[in-house]
Each structure stands twice: as C-alpha cells, then as structure tokens.
Structure 1
Amino acid sequence: MTEIKLEIDEKKHGAFNLYEDNTKIGEMVISLRDDKLTVYHTEIDSSTEGKGYAKLLLQEMVSYSRNNNLKVITLCPYVHAQFKRHPEEYADIWLKQE
C-alpha cells in the first residue's frame, strides 16, 4: 500500500514522505513559513522510477497548499518544471520568483 505522510520538525522543515509497504521510497523536501511552502527537492528511489510516484508527491503537496491557503515557491527542478509546463493548473498557488 502506498502512503504519503507530511513529516515536519519544530522549525517547520520536513518532507512529504512516500512509503510503500512501510518502506520509505521517496520524498519531497519542503519548509513552511508564514503563508508560503517552499519545495526544495523531490527524490524517488531509483528502483521505483517510472511508476508515477513523483506525481503522487506533487499532487499531495498541491492539495495541502490549496487546503491551507499557501503559496508555493518552486526551488525543486521537478516541481518548477511541472508548474511551468502547466501554469494554468497551478496559477492559484504558484508564487513565481523574479
């Protein structure tokens, strides 16, 4: 069973962690500050690449951001590429950096 857990420390740094049968196979590293969620890095275990797990993490992060009225800063190349590829889909949460 695939499960995504948001695990954050007291400084509001952490990750959306992806587990398959209780084994961590991926993560999307983030931090929260005020009304912003910054995404730094997304990584999936190489043995599970091509199964859409990065997209699951992206969907979870987007859903969390919308539910909590957060703007997303996309420092992660994967997330930035997805936001740039589909700007209309993420316009409500994307905080574009100049």
Structure 2
Amino acid sequence: MSTLVEDNPAKNRFEILVDDALAGFTAYVPRGEVLVFTHTQVDRAFQGKGVGGALIRGTLDQVRARGGRLVPQCPFVAAFIDKHPEYADLVAEAP
C-alpha cells in the first residue's frame, strides 16, 4: 500500500492518497502563518488501517518543514499530538 500526503490549498486541506485513491483529509483554516485544523475524515474503506495516523503525521511533518504552526481544534489532530509529543512544539496559541 503506497501513501502520499499532499497539501491541497485550493480546498484548504491536506489529503492522503492510498494507491492513488483519496482516502482521507484534514481540513484547515489559514490564519497568517498558523493553520487551524478543524476536521479530519477518513473514508470508511480505509478506517482501522493506520491511514488517519499517516495523514496527520505527514501533515505535521510538512507544517514543520515549512516553518509553520498550527492550532488543533480537530479532536483527532489534538489526540495525535497528545500521543506524539515530538509534535507539541508546532502548536500555537489560538489566533
């Protein structure tokens, strides 16, 4: 199973493709340099296979690479960061 996480700025979301099929996304609202993550959704066919975690990990790695910060309003993103404190430094105060 090959996965790819890409930013789709036209839709304000990061998307995960599994074998070239859209398997899920995490939506955000840009607030300057800060992205406020509001909702994460994984297609039912891909749930329970680690796709959600791979999506958030890939998203956070890209936010870090571009020097950005985020606000995890989405409970799934917040829970992922709680379980993976190596990403805690990306969390900004709510704008």
Q: TM-score, normalised by structure 2?
A: 0.83
Q: Match for residue 71 of structure 2?
A: 73
Paired positions, count? 93
- Whole-angstrom CA distance in 1 between matches of 2:49 and 2:19: 15
| 1:90 counterpart letter in structure 2 | Y
Q: Name the structure, 1 or 2, with higher relative contact order (CA <8 Å, separation 6+).
A: 2
Residue 6 of structure 2 is matched in structure 1 by 5
**Structure 1: distance between partners of 2:31 and 2:93:** 16
User: Which string of whole-angstrom CA distances, capped at 9 and with x for unpartnered residues, describes residues 51-96 of structure 1?
Assistant: 111111111111111112211101111011122334x322211124
Gaps of 5+ in 1: none
Task: State how far apart, in whole Å, the 1-side matches of 2:71 and 2:22 are.
Answer: 25
- Matched AA of 1:63: D
Cα-Cα RMSD: 1.7
